[in-house]
Amino acid sequence: MSSGETVMPNQARIGECGDELYDVVVVGAGVTGIGAACVLRERRMRFIILEGSDDVGGIWSTNRWHGARCDSDFIKYSYSFAPALTAQCHQDAARVHAYLQDVARQFDLLPCIRFKANVIRAAFDETEVCWVVTTDQGSVKARFLINGNGYFAEPHLPELPGIHEFQGQVLHTLNLDDGVEFRTSRVVVVGSGSTAICCAPALGDVAKTLTLVQRSPSYIFDIENDEIGWVTRLCQDLYSRGVRWPVAMLRYYLQCKDDAIFVLFRRFPRFWRNYFAKIWAPCMSTREFQRNFSPVYSPWEQRPTFSMGLRQRIADGRVSVHTGEISHFDDTSLTLTDGTRIPCDVCVLATGYELNLLKFDLLVADKRVEIGGLSFFKRLMLGGVPNYFQPFGTVHSAWTQSLEPGVALAVKIMSYMDKHGYRKVCIDPVDVDWKPGITPNYIMRAISRLPHSYGTFELPSLDRLFSYHFKPGAYTFEA
C-alpha cells in the first residue's frame, strides 16, 4: 500500500484475487512482521500485513503471565531504527507490547494491517508469478511473501497422572493474567524452563505460598538491580540529542558480548558450572544446589534462564523449589516420585509451547511444501520456494539482531529484481548437515519438522559483517 494512500486503521483492503496486486504480503504483526513492514514502508513498497488477532505484538500481546519479560537488554532487542531509551535493562511483556504498538503508529503501519485475518494457505501461482494468500476474510495477491507467523503454536501440555482428579484450579501460563492474585492460595508452578523461572518469583509475591516443581534444573541468571549503567545512560542521552552512533556502537558491543559468552560457555563448560555454583552458594547449601540448580547438561546446550529476584525470594522463604518427576495428583496435592507430597490449591503449568514454524498450508506448483528437513538459506529462504522469505532471529540472543539483516537482505533481492526485470527468485534445495544450536525440549520435540539452516555463523555479530551481503550468484533469478 503506498504511503500516500489514506485508509482508516484496521481497514487495509483484502478481497478476491485480482482486486489488487501488492509488492509484498506480510504474515503476522509481531516483532518480525512489524520490523519487516517498517523497512518496506521506508522503501515505499506496496504491502499489506495479515494478522490473526486484533492487535499488534504477537506473543508480547498474548503472554500476560506474572513476570513475563524480555530476557535481552532492551536497547539491543528493540529495532535499530527505533531504539528504546529506558531506565531499565530489561522490559516486561506489557512494555514490550506498548513499544511495538508505538513503532506501528510511528511508521504509520496500522492502515496497512488487516486484523483478525487468519491465514489458511498461501499458494504460488506459476502463471501470474505471484503469491495468492487465502485468509478467513478473503484472498490477496502479492509478488513476494514475508512470513512472520512466529514459531510457537499451542501450549505444550504434558501428561500429568491424576490431574483430572485435582479439585483446585489448573492454568497454563497462556491463560494466566498478571493482574490476578492468589493471596489465600497455595500455588505450584510446574516447569523448568524460562517461563517457570521468570514466573515463580513474580507469582510468589501475590500468592500465599509458591512452590516451583521442576522435572530437571536449569542454569539461571538472577539479577536484583535492573537499572542501566552509566555508559548506556550516556549513549541514550546522546541519541536523544541527535547523536545516534553511540547507541549503534553500544548495540553491537552488547551483541558481541552475547556471542562471546555463548561460545565460551560451550567451549569451557566446567568453568561456567563453577560460575553458576558461586552465584547460588550464598542462599542455599551445596546439597540443595546440586539437587535443584545443577543441570546434567553443559551450559548453553539449552538457553540459560533469566530471573529477577529469585535468589532473594528463596532465601526469604517466599519461594521453595522441588526437583523431580510428578508421580500423580490427588484432589488437594501433587506427589513426586520420591514420595514428597506438595499441597496445592492452584497449579500453574509453565510448560511452554509446541514449536511450529509454518502455521498455514504452503503450496508451490499445487504441491504442499513440507519444511521438515528442507534447506533454509541464511535462515531466510526455503530451498525450492520462490519469492518467499521467512526471517528467523537468533536463538541465543535478541531476536531482532538476526531479523533486521535478514529483512534488509530480502529487500536488496527485491530491489535487484526490479532493477533487472526479474519476476522470480529461488534458492535451490540442497542437502544440509545440520543440528540445532541449542537443544531445549521444545526444539527436540519438533526436530523432524524443522528446516535445516545454513549459510551463517549463527552468531549475529559475525553474520552482520560477513553473512548478509547480497551476492546475485547465490540465487536463481527468472524473468
Write down all domains in the chain, each with its CATH number in brackets.
21-153+355-478 (3.50.50.60), 157-227+268-351 (3.50.50.60)
Task: Answer left, alpha or beta for residue 247, where phi above 0 means left and psi between -120 and 50 means alpha.
Answer: alpha
List, in sequence order, every beta strand (DSSP E) within 148-304.
Answer: 152-155, 169-172, 182-190, 207-214, 220-223
Distance CA 357, CA 212 (A): 30
Query: Which pairing describes strands 375-377 and 152-155: parallel, antiparallel, or unpaired?
Result: unpaired
Q: Look up residue 449 and give its DSSP letter.
A: G
Nine cell digits for residue 210: 509458591
In 3D, which of 128, 173, 181 has the Cα closest to residue 152? 173
Alpha-carbon distances, residue 237 vs 81, 195, 231, 245, 400 (angstroms): 16, 33, 10, 12, 23
Burial of 377 (0-12, 13-18, 19+ CB in 10 A): buried
Read off φ and ψ for residue 219, nearest 5 degrees.
-75, 130
The set of residues, in sequence order, having a beta carbon less than 8 Å from that of 390 and lying 6+ positions away, is 146, 147, 148, 357, 376, 379, 380, 381, 382
Give the pLDDT of the chain (479 residues) as one tens digit per residue.
Answer: 333 333 334 446 565 554 679 999 999 999 999 999 999 999 999 999 999 999 999 999 999 999 999 999 999 999 999 999 999 999 999 999 999 999 999 999 999 999 999 999 999 999 999 999 999 999 999 999 999 999 888 899 999 999 999 999 999 999 999 999 999 999 999 998 899 999 999 999 999 999 999 999 999 988 888 999 999 999 999 999 999 999 999 999 999 999 999 999 999 999 999 988 888 888 888 888 899 999 999 989 988 898 999 999 998 899 999 999 999 999 999 999 999 999 999 999 999 999 999 999 999 999 999 999 999 999 999 999 999 999 998 888 999 999 999 999 999 999 999 999 999 999 999 999 998 888 888 899 999 999 999 999 999 999 999 999 999 999 999 99
Return the SS3 of 19. Answer: coil
Residue 134 CA to residue 132 CA, distance in Å, equals: 6
pLDDT in tens, 45-100: 999 999 999 999 999 999 999 999 999 999 999 999 999 999 999 999 999 999 99
Closest CA to 310 of 189, 216, 229: 189
The two beta strands, 367-368 and 361-364, are antiparallel
Residue 92 per-residue DSSP state: B
pLDDT tens digits along 133-156: 999 999 999 999 999 999 888 899
Residue with cell 529469585: 310
Torsion, Cα 174 175 177 182, to 10 degrees, reads -120
